[in-house]
Chains A and B, each alone.
Chain A
């Protein structure tokens, strides 16, 4: 079964850091670009960023709202994706989803999400 399982969410104070993980199973993780998408409580979906695969030099893309504060990385040997979040703000409070990109223009597998709450 193709599956993505996020972990690492929690309560953190403004200005703090948190590292999210996403464990992939059931498919060849190294073949795929992987994304993070978040959803603030009661709000719509917001794309956070992307990590490309080895063929594309593991390059990354970010939303302007997180660029310079968040870093996406991956460890293909562990079938894992990471989101390092620094200088957290209250507006980063959201459910964070790990998502697989399958080919061009298709984000087809989503994890169940992990909740990040930034509050003093």
Chain B
């Protein structure tokens, strides 16, 4: 199975900060990576797919990049509503797998 690791696991930041989360795959997955945002008690919300394509309706402050084994999610200017847990997922090879998540909290 493809293992995904995320760093950091936990991130404390202030509104207005630029935030970057990294997702690394145990083997190459081309650009078959998605990012989700999840708030407490809510279902995950798709932010980015195909590593860098912004899902419709998602603010442009979110961006994704990478291919192969290393990927990043960047929030250019953190807003109060962005405090949440972020998950990466590979969709290249079965079984599909998720990273462990990165929790972004208010400093």
Contact = CB atoms under 8 A, between A and B. Distances in A.
Contacts of A112: 43
Interface residues of B, number: 25
A105 interface: yes
Interface stretch (B15-23, B70-78, B98-106): B98-106
Given A61-B94, A64-B1, A108 B46 contact: yes
B100 to A, nearest CB: 5
Contact of A64 (B34, B44, B55, B95): B95
A25 B50 CA distance: 26
B38 to A, nearest CB: 8
A63 interface: yes
Given A97-B43, A107-B91, A110-B44, A47 B50 contact: no
Interface residues on A, range: 20 to 34
Contacts of B65: none
Contact of B46 (A37, A64, A104, A107): A107
The binding surface of chain B is classed by DSSP as loop
The binding surface of chain A is classed by DSSP as strand
B63 interface: no
Contact of A111 (B43, B49, B97): B43
Nearest to B99: A44
Interface in A63-120: 63-64, 97, 104-108, 110-113
Residue from the set B44, B96, B100 with the largest chain A CB neighbour count within 10 Å: B96
Interface of A: 35, 37, 44-47, 50, 61-64, 97, 104-108, 110-113
